[in-house]
A and B are shown apart, each in its own frame.
Chain A
Amino acid sequence: MTTAKKTAKQKETQQTPWRLAFHRLKKNKLALVGLGVLVLIFLVCFLGPYFSPYPDVNMVDLAHSKQPPSPQHWLGTDRSGRDILSRLMFGGRVSMTVGAVATVLEIFIGTLFGCIAGYYRGWIDTVMMRVVDIILSLPTMPILIMISAVFSDLHVDTKIRIYLLMFILAALGWAGICRYFRGQVLSIREMEYMLATESMGIRDIKKIFKHIIPNVFPLVIVTATLAIGDTILMESTMSFLGVGVLPPYASWGNIVSEGSNMVDFTLHPWMWMPAGFCILITVLCINLLGDGLRDALDPRMNK
């Protein structure tokens, strides 16, 4: 009886690595604040428009253009008389979606290729790593701008262009992740349990998906979180330069750029400042959260 009780109790307090990590994360105030604000921004962007009196964010009203913040327009209106708060919410949707999807894509490609290269080694590894070397030596921003210039001529819907943008961002982003995971896999491969799977004759695919990927998964989460921040920044820079999200769709980057001529810049700061701060706060929160996750998931941080 006592032994049974003891095992039950043991079960209760037994902690999975995930729970441990969550526990550690809860203690990291900065990460929690980041998470909280992020959830808030997310909710405002995705639910806010349903409560907005300006449901059609693309509706132009030149009679009310360039108005400073007022009870009707909390953040004022832009050059086309559109409500800035509403545009910020829609722009946030676009910026965050582009950031998240592009990151998921690059993480997926990067992890998969990294695992394959690290697992098989040999010529597959060599070829893949040379490709990764080539991509990593390309200067990111110039190449992104040139790729966008190539695609600017493509006759596709503006909406579809947003997806295209995600692919463009992912096309350059995966290489670094790939190299990183290859390194991780190389070290995991040498671990004893992998040698055990070898002797058990488990198939390669299964080994990669069942044993290697789950082991690098915490790293994936951390890398992904931090990468989303980077991608949002990248997207905003591209939109600022006019090679990102196209009108009438808003993204935080092109809202900043819309108000960035010297006149709107000095006389109508409400047009561009809020979007800039939205980028700053969102990316900051993502980074804080990512950093917290890294601390929480990194076993070396065990005290």
Chain B
Amino acid sequence: MKTYVTRRLLILIPILIGVSIIVFLLIASIPGDAIDAKFGASRLPAEKIAEMKALLGLNQPVGVRYLNWLKNALHGNLGISTQYNLPVATVIHDFIWNSFLLAIVSFVLELLIAIPVGVLSATKIHSFFDNLFTVLAFAGISLPSFFLALLLQKGFAVDWKMLPMDGMHTVGVTLAGGAYLMDILSHMILPVICLTTISVGGAMRFVRTSMLDVINQDYIRTARSKGLPERIVIYRHALKNAAIPIITYIGNSLPGLFSGALITETVFAWPGIGKIFLESIAKRDYLFMMGYVMLVALLTMLGNLLADILYSVADPRIRLK
């Protein structure tokens, strides 16, 4: 196990380097740079513009810039964000927890809905209940997030004025303790509904499929034929085995909790990392873009690793090599 994890971690290194090269080249080939974005239309003299580009090292060849970035990154220095004039790590830290808050709540909700519904669907396959939730689950998957977000805003915030339209806090009021939390909570409701609706369908289908796989196994039939009550068959034997893929699913989902929701956060003006990233592209905030993409890539890889480890922990039959 230990050697397996070490080996997997070692494999991460070339992949991360590969990712960083691709992303750096990609970012560098986007026309225009941070100085163009910031001062392009100003009447600053060309020499001043050139001077500022040189200060950021933008006049150097891509290769040199990449090596500089790599060298600094290896020392834990991701550089300064031109958009915020703060270290990239600080900017990420400032916004990532807001994203995490949205993501973790909707993820917990997603599991709370998906697991019971998925299990029930599987046990009553092709029933009305199953069909209904199949359609609902697919409807959720099929909703474009921007469309859903707009619909929610129009309904709950604009037309019925039940919930705040965007942002994270009601400004202009000083709140403390419980009231403060309630305030954030009320701002969270719409984005959380949006995120949960989009993702719950996938989870539901996943649970249903995993459960069906197990139910069709011989040992379940044996259990049934032994006359065990259906409840025990399903919840003691089947669910326990179906839990393995579900745990993998959870492991795989963990990085998503930190990567932010680009569209949802933007439409709801939620100060999350996804929204900030979208803006950073337009501002050509190279180092922040780089830092963000690398972070997400790293998290994705760690998520896969975590899923595999959980898989083996949950199912002793699987040996990691």
Q: Tell yes or no: B134 within 8 A of A by CB.
A: yes
Given contacts A139-B293, A143-B26, A291-B138, contact A276 B144 (CB under 8 A): yes
Contact A134 B18 (CB under 8 A): yes
Residue contact B259 to A139, C-beta cutoff 8 Å: yes
Neighbouring B residues of A276 by C-beta, 8 Å = 144, 147, 150-151
Chain A residues within an 8 Å CB radius of B296: 137, 139, 142
Q: Is there an interface contact between B151 and A143, defined as CB atoms closer than 8 Å?
A: no
The reply to whether A137 and B138 form a contact with Cβ atoms under 8 Å apart is no
Within 8 Å of chain A (Cβ to Cβ): is B27? yes
A138 adjacent to B262 (CB under 8 Å): no
Which B residues between 1 and 36 are near A, CB-CB below 8 angstroms?
Answer: 11, 14-15, 18-19, 22-23, 26-27, 29-31
A124-158 CB mask vs B (1 if < 8 Å, else 0) is: 00000011011011110111011101101100000
Partner of B135, one of A237, A240, A260, A288: A288
Are B144 and A240 interface neighbours, CB within 8 A? yes
Give Cα A287 to B146, complex, Å: 19
Q: Is the CB of B18 within 8 A of A130?
A: yes
Knowing A237-B146, A280-B147, the reply to whether A137 touches B15 (Cβ < 8 A) is yes
Contact B277 A30 (CB under 8 A): no
Closest-CB distance, A28 to chain B (whole angstroms): 8
Complex alpha-carbon distance, A260 and B205, angstroms: 32
The answer to whether A233 and B262 touch across the interface, beta carbons within 8 angstroms, is: no
CB-CB under 8 A for A138 and B22, given A133-B15, A150-B30, A265-B154: yes
In the complex, chain A residues whose CB is within 8 Å of the CB of B131: 29-30
Q: Are B150's CB and A130's CB within 8 A?
A: no
Closest residue of B by beta carbon distance from A133: B15
Question: Does B107 sit within 8 A of A, measured CB to CB?
Answer: no
Contact, CB under 8 Å: B14 / A288: no
Set B15, B26, B29, B147: member contacting A134, Cβ < 8 A: B15
Interface flag for A245 (CB, 8 Å): no
- Report the separation of the CA atoms of residues A131 and B277 in the bound assembly, to the nearest whole angstrom: 25
Whether A287 contacts B142 in the complex (CB less than 8 A), given A134-B15, A143-B26, comes out as: yes
Per-position contact with B for A22-53: 1 when CB-CB < 8 Å, else 0?
00000001100000000000000000000000
Docked complex Cα distance between A146 and B289 (Å): 10
- Asked whether, in the complex, the Cβ of B138 is within 8 Å of the Cβ of A237, the reply is no
B177-232 CB contacts (< 8 Å) to partner A:
205, 213, 216
Choose one: A134, A233, A266; the contact of B158 (CB below 8 Å): A266
Question: In whole angstroms, how far apart are the Cα atoms of A137 and B141 in the complex?
Answer: 22
Partner of B139, one of A133, A141, A240, A280: A280
Which residues of chain B are near A131, meaning CB under 8 Å? Answer: 18
Q: How far is the CA of A300 from the CA of B296 in the complex (A)?
A: 36
Chain A, range 198-249, C-beta contacts under 8 Å to B: 229, 233, 236-237, 240
Asked if A260 and B30 sit within 8 Å, CB to CB, the answer is no
Q: Once the chains bind, are B150 and A260 in contact (CB under 8 Å)?
A: yes
Q: How far is the CB of A244 from chain B (nearest CB, A)?
A: 12
A266–B26 Cα distance when bound, in Å, is: 38
Kindly list chain B residues whose C-beta atoms are within 8 Å of the C-beta of A265. 150, 154
**Is A94 located at the chain interface by the 8 A CB criterion?**
no
Q: When chains A and B are docked, how far (Å) is the Cα of A115 from the Cα of B297? A: 26
Q: Measured between C-beta atoms, what is the minimum distance from A251 to chain B in Å?
A: 12
Question: Known: A138-B23, A280-B143, A280-B144. Contact between A145 and B293, CB under 8 A?
Answer: no
- Other-chain contact of A137, B29, B277, B300 (Cβ < 8 Å): B300
We find that the number of chain B residues with CB closer than 8 angstroms to chain A is 45
From A29, A139, A282, contact of B297 by CB (8 A): A139
**Is B62 close to A, CB under 8 A?**
no
A107 interface contact, C-beta 8 A: no
Residues in A with CB closer than 8 Å to B301 are 133, 137
User: What CA separation (Å) do A138 and B296 show in the bound complex?
Assistant: 7
Contacts of A75 in B (CB 8 A): none
A142 to chain B, nearest CB (A): 6
What 1/0 flags go to B272-310 for Cβ under 8 Å of A?
Answer: 000001100100000001001100111011000000000
* Contacting residues, chain B, for A130 (C-beta < 8 A): 11, 14-15, 18
What's the least CB distance linking A103 to chain B, in Å? Answer: 15
Report if A76 contacts B (CB, 8 A).
Answer: no
Decide yes or no whether B145 CB sits under 8 A from chain A: yes
What's the Cα separation between A30 and B133 when bound, in Å?
A: 11
A173 at the interface (CB under 8 A from B): no
A138-B293 in contact (CB<8A): yes
- CA of A293 to CA of B150 in the docked complex: distance in angstroms? 33
* A141 CA / B278 CA spacing, docked (Å): 10
**A256–B134 alpha-carbon span in the complex (Å):** 26
Closest A residue, CB atoms, query B266: A241
Q: Is the CB of B141 within 8 A of A287?
A: yes
Please name 29 pairs of A and B residues whose Cβ atoms are closer than 8 Å in the assembled complex, sorted by A: A30-B135, A130-B11, A133-B15, A134-B18, A136-B300, A137-B298, A137-B301, A138-B293, A139-B296, A141-B262, A142-B289, A142-B292, A146-B27, A150-B26, A153-B31, A233-B144, A237-B144, A237-B145, A240-B263, A272-B150, A276-B144, A276-B150, A276-B151, A279-B142, A280-B142, A287-B141, A287-B142, A291-B134, A300-B213
Binding site for B on A (CB under 8 A): 29-30, 130-131, 133-134, 136-139, 141-143, 145-147, 149-150, 152-153, 229, 233, 236-237, 240, 253, 256-257, 260, 265-266, 269, 272, 276, 279-284, 286-288, 291, 300
Residues of B within 8 A of A (CB): 11, 14-15, 18-19, 22-23, 26-27, 29-31, 131, 134-135, 138-139, 141-147, 150-151, 154, 158, 205, 213, 216, 259, 262-263, 277-278, 281, 289, 292-293, 296-298, 300-301
Taking A137-B296, A150-B29 as known contacts, 6 extra A-B pairs with beta carbons closer than 8 A to each other, sorted by chain A number, are A130-B14, A134-B19, A142-B262, A142-B293, A279-B144, A288-B134
